[in-house]
Structure 1
């Protein structure tokens, strides 16, 4: 049975049982605790906790999930996946244990002809929490399971929570026995490779507190009602029904491995290490495509870092398999083709998905090239010093600073006849990982208690009047101080206020909240911020300036007119810049985030490579042409499908309702889904001045601009600056660029002449250094401080010149600089000295610690730097001592 069919049967089964189908939420959820959705129940947490009243008593979904804790184990075993699909059915105070066990048993064991999965009931096992006698009896009554196929397990296995304070409860897991050829007898407790978990039925009835592990947390008490949360692993059911060994061989995963075989010329199943790499590619390619589809782009922290790591592991694995050519485009194409039946958005958005993935591949291939050079330098230094092992520190720096993978370091070291201190590397990695975990744990919190707002969420959304008016009469529904509802607030108090209606815009969609006031008889209240709760309730953060604010008061809510004017200019300007970007750069320049406030806009977009000056000028010109065209700004509400059919742009990763608001500027020029406030005609935006363009992550660029009066002010300042420069240069303003270019060229010539003079001065001291040579055995040794201020480059030239003056004599030259607290040094030996066993690279190890430095090189020349200039005399003595030892042994 194909995976898409398994999904369809699950949804159909529960829809017939009265469950409302709920689409999968985006993998990126607005939750401070989670990088990505990692379970099917996550989007329903407020319903379980009683913070919101669910719009349905029963629901069913197939949720996209990503779990990143086991990335290192992916491919090593066949049980770990980062992306998977969790099919689940949910009850919010409706049915409980008996019903859910019956529903699951029927779907699993009914024949294929009857719409079920057709599993053999004699091979199904169940587990239950230690003291859950009720669940065990239901398994006997409803499914007829014998005692020997029901096992009791402890909290770590059969008590489910999200790992943080929130809903929890005992659970009953369903396992399928694959047969004796896959392991030993004894049920799930004995062997979870033979007995595969396929479905977890959670009896969500309690709320947990803080804890450190799966079985170490406090049960705070019961939830407002008993709920059901289940999760069936779609991929696990697929590999059982398709009679293959594991999820990597199912219909949606194996095609990626097949593509990797074609690219590499290797065959899956022939070698364990190669198989691990095939599985890494297959797993990570699916996960990366799904993350990019939900708006994630590669970056250096958070979600972006996870995606970058996955994509780079794909490139690395393909390379280790022998695929030298870029391969990302082929892998993501296979994922699109296999997954599109369930996720048609992958087809619609494929150009962007491919662009992001391929862009990261190109960047990483460049990293591998530069990393290889760094590795070569490290290997040469080790060899020159007579060593055989690259240190754990060096391997860690290659990995952590330059992104060079440890397995490539190991492979290249073996090819060079060297070893790597892998234990030292692993220790450093573990220390870094522990720091990261501690940092993540410090930011992890329980789900915010929204109980105080629940009444107002259930009451219905705040009526937003701000599209049509800036002053609205409103009733104070609640006053909240410190998370507690209070009846009044006196002058000087800072509180939150919920109104039945409000003209003040609540922050969302990149637009900052309005500021304004609430006024009444003898009452003045300043509104400094407005935020949304559950996306529907406006919470006004206020300071009572005068009088007493009382629940039930009728007040006038007023928006600061100047703020709103600037905010609408900034928001409409953002839409115009977005449209201009797509016109100049093409359809792959898609919004990746924005911020707009009075007079200013910031717009992030997906694009590979920086923009040229010409492109920036064109974007600004197209934007201002549209502003000057005085386009009408129209808004209307329609359903999501119609909006998309019209070509309205949606923000990737955003979840929209069935009805959406469309903002249209100039007909086809700009059409986006947007809930923000806007000008009525494009000319009201005023001039748009692009300040610059920069990178904010791999494949994501940022444009910043002033609009309206702020644009005028910026241009006036620039004009005054230009006039000042013109006055200083005594030329007309239009001749300033040419005059500056001429001055820069003259300065460049002068710097070259100065450099030549300085180099000549440095070299002129070479003869005096020859005169300082000391005889050590048959060797002549120059070991001295360099002239003040001589840097590494000049030092190398000077040492080379001094060495050359010794001709065929055995000589060693070592000079130490002192530049801004750094101690650059260069050591060089003549050929005759090398024949006596003196190697420059080896000498560094003798004196380096004296100046807090390190370095390396070949037998003839080595260089490096230290940090302790006071140690130069000691370093010179250490060098002389080592040369004396060598001379005595030769």
Structure 2
């Protein structure tokens, strides 16, 4: 069977058992502060387990894109080294939300594996939770008894808390689990060693294939467990491992999930995979795995960057580049050529990549290209270090700088160093690495307490589309600590506060309890909860409260959000239908819109786009908002954003059906005329293939235009009110250029005259020709010119020239190459140690020439004296 057939059989089987197929959630998590990426199939169902939201279906089945490269579940360093760990992988799962439990889950697991997939029963083992005395958790006897009906008891193994009690993280839903393992070893090996001894023993041929998790607890911050409102089933079967077993392969990478990518890499490199268990083979596996994580993260809206989730994706991409650079002898971009192969492979199951294949390819290419240049810079850096080192050792700090700045892993630094006979201080590197991790944790640490529940039905009802204030009550609250600041989060029974989503910032406002008013500083989503941030709790939190949003901020934000829709449509009309939203910020002050486009937007294009938006504003088009089934909305031509998770019923915002129809949960105006005016303020690049536009609406746009007109009036006045101010400015610039050229000629003549006179003032000090003078020049470049004018006229020289330029000290120091080599004199070192402290400044340069600048222009005589005394 092919991999697509195996996937479809899984889905069809559970549909026959009354399950509803749901699509994969995006791989990038947006509304859960505890996660950067979807790392398990259960993430999108977390609210169901906690009772925060009612499930639309009691039984569902899916295949979920998962990424495990950060936090508790981090497989990155194992990927490629072995044959079964991955960064991005598919998790097949069947789910029960308060419906069936252990019996059905176990019965159906066995039926699917042995009767549908025909896996031999004598190759299967199962594990059951043995209990944990410390937590007062009993053995899962119920699961054990159900398994006895299908498999002999000598194949039912007891598992400890580490292996058989599943927890998503430090807190959250959890419960005992029952794993199914397959012994893939040849019969000859199975006859020698009992398979049960190899279960959970890191044997690459005896692998876990499916995990049935029985969700029945919630882990609290103090590590205690509380029962969940209902019992659930959460199963996860690694698709890559399942395909390996059913296709009879020794490695996940030998299956048709990866073979197409590996074969294409062979064509691109001229090398062959599978000949030896070498670094070359590891590199093939790393590329085949990493390209999936990179592509699907970008397709779901996460661009590589220097922080957060974007940094993780950049790190994965750079790890792949390092492997093909080091072990596949490829020094030019390669990964981008794998993108179309991958997109075609997953076109029917995860179509978002195929729909954006050109964009993703461009982003990957630019990231590769930039990092390859960085790698070359890093290689030069380490070669320079080794060329100047007094000992044949690379210290830990330098090794860490190469890792942190140039992306060099420790093993690459060690490899380059060993080729030159150098050792590397591994312990020092690890110390520096741990220090960085500590700094990073301190900067991002979010400490959340447990919820105090006041109402057993904590679901928030959002009424903010219709109301700006409402009576409400707190259903639950908790204390949080972020970056050292204590705050509280409140969940309300109903709320007019819009929670940050889709680029629109969260509302602010007030909550009033019995006359006591507290400020709501922000509103965010946590899965399906609407969470209100406050700096303190009211004296009586159990009483009814009045919730009031900041109406002025909401109105300004709403104007900017509606303008974003008009802008999006205008961009597509002028630039092309390849334009798609890649990021958005909508707040009361301005709007920022990121979109896919591969060239700078010209001034003419910007003018056309702005005119279109303002035409739609003047047309005062009614804004129609409808709630429709998702499929019906898409038939209307509604634009959906990649990386967003939509429900079956969606909110459609229509500003002329022939112009702008988008799926959107944000707040909007009643008619486009309310915007008044739309004005661009900036256009720039954000990343490869992504441009950014910033704009203003309403009174903010009018204030911007007024400020520009006022500035123009002041410029005209300064120019004596010419009829044509543009021509007047151009003439002024031409005159300035002409005068600068004349001044440059005069400066050069002055330097020539100075150098001729100074040659007669050279002093001999210990065999060195010293010349040190304070000179009268107008710019620092003249000091440099003076040094180079005298360089070939005076042998064996140390030249130091200083000048007071605009009240600041400027110094230039030049040392002949022979003195650098013979006496170890280095200009930057002298600048740093002898000169900079005197003038209270700093500087640097090459060994033979360096410059400095500082505040103390009155100390220039001392500079000359200090250098002379040193000689």
**TM-score, length-scaled by structure 2:** 0.82
Deviation at 1:31, TM superposition (A): 0.7
Unaligned runs of 5+ in 2: 132-138, 480-487, 837-841
Q: Say which is worse superposed, 329-338 or 391-400, in terms of deviation.
A: 391-400
Q: Is 2:364 the partner of 1:352?
A: no
CA contact (8 A) 1:182 1:193 kept: no
Q: Is 2:789 the partner of 1:801?
A: yes
Aligned pair in 2 of structure 1 residues 601, 24: CA closer, same or farther (>3 Å)? same
Deviation at 1:250, TM superposition (A): 1.6
CA contact (8 A) 1:770 1:805 kept: no
Selected match of 1:204 from 215, 218, 221: 215
Structure 1 Cα separation of the partners of residues 32 and 285 of structure 2? 30
Residue of structure 2 equivalent to 1:635: 625
Q: Is 2:243 the partner of 1:258?
A: no
Selected match of 2:84 from 72, 79, 83: 79
Aligned pair in 2 of structure 1 residues 739, 455: CA closer, same or farther (>3 Å)? same
Aligned pair in 2 of structure 1 residues 874, 99: CA closer, same or farther (>3 Å)? farther
CA contact (8 A) 1:32 1:444 kept: no
Residue of structure 1 equivalent to 2:473: 478
Deviation at 1:654, TM superposition (A): 1.2
CA contact (8 A) 2:626 2:652 kept: yes
Selected match of 2:730 from 730, 741, 753: 741
Q: Is 2:211 the partner of 1:227?
A: no
Map residues 434-833 of structure 1 onto 2, 5 A cutoff.
434-435=437-438, 438-439=441-442, 442-443=445-446, 445=448, 449=451, 451-452=453-454, 455=457, 457=459, 461-462=461-462, 466=466, 476=471, 478-479=473-474, 498=492, 508-512=501-505, 531=523, 566-597=556-587, 600-732=590-722, 735-754=724-743, 757=746, 764=754, 768=758, 771-776=761-766, 779-782=767-770, 796-806=784-794, 811-813=796-798, 815=800, 825-829=813-817
Deviation at 1:303, TM superposition (A): 1.4
CA contact (8 A) 1:480 1:495 kept: no
Structure 1 Cα separation of the partners of residues 670 and 629 of structure 2? 23
CA contact (8 A) 1:390 1:418 kept: no
Deviation at 1:722, TM superposition (A): 0.6
Residue of structure 2 equivalent to 1:151: 157
Q: Say which is worse superposed, 159-168 or 784-793, in terms of deviation.
A: 784-793
Deviation at 1:314, TM superposition (A): 3.7
Aligned pair in 2 of structure 1 residues 387, 829: CA closer, same or farther (>3 Å)? farther
Aligned pair in 2 of structure 1 residues 198, 723: CA closer, same or farther (>3 Å)? same
Aligned pair in 2 of structure 1 residues 725, 338: CA closer, same or farther (>3 Å)? same
Deviation at 1:300, TM superposition (A): 1.5
Deviation at 1:243, TM superposition (A): 1.8
Aligned pair in 2 of structure 1 residues 471, 199: CA closer, same or farther (>3 Å)? closer
Unaligned runs of 5+ in 1: 111-115, 211-216, 485-493, 881-890
Q: Is 2:6 the partner of 1:6?
A: yes
Map residues 126-275 of structure 1 onto 2, 5 A cutoff.
126-131=126-131, 132=139, 134=141, 137-138=144-145, 141-147=148-154, 149-179=155-185, 186-210=197-221, 218-270=223-275, 272-275=278-281
Map residues 110-129 of structure 1 onto 2, 5 A cutoff.
110=115, 116-129=116-129
Residue of structure 2 equivalent to 1:885: none
Structure 1 Cα separation of the partners of residues 549 and 828 of structure 2? 71
Structure 1 Cα separation of the partners of residues 777 and 404 of structure 2? 33
Per-residue CA shift, 1:377-400, capped at 9, x if unaligned? 774575478887776655654553
Map residues 295-334 of structure 1 onto 2, 5 A cutoff.
295-320=301-326, 321-334=328-341
CA contact (8 A) 1:639 1:659 kept: yes
CA RMSD of aligned residues (A): 4.6
Aligned pair in 2 of structure 1 residues 730, 579: CA closer, same or farther (>3 Å)? same
SS at match of 2:359: helix
Aligned length: 830
CA contact (8 A) 1:391 1:424 kept: no
Structure 2 Cα separation of the partners of residues 315 and 579 of structure 1? 37
Structure 2 Cα separation of the partners of residues 173 and 234 of structure 1? 15
Deviation at 1:286, TM superposition (A): 1.0
Residue of structure 1 equivalent to 2:289: 283
Structure 1 Cα separation of the partners of residues 810 and 127 of structure 2? 66
Residue of structure 2 equivalent to 1:338: 345
Structure 2 Cα separation of the partners of residues 283 and 334 of structure 1? 13
Structure 2 Cα separation of the partners of residues 126 and 301 of structure 1? 41
Aligned pair in 2 of structure 1 residues 414, 449: CA closer, same or farther (>3 Å)? same
Residue of structure 2 equivalent to 1:46: 47
Structure 2 Cα separation of the partners of residues 250 and 82 of structure 1? 17
Structure 2 Cα separation of the partners of residues 360 and 525 of structure 1? 50
Map residues 82-121 of structure 1 onto 2, 5 A cutoff.
82-110=87-115, 116-121=116-121
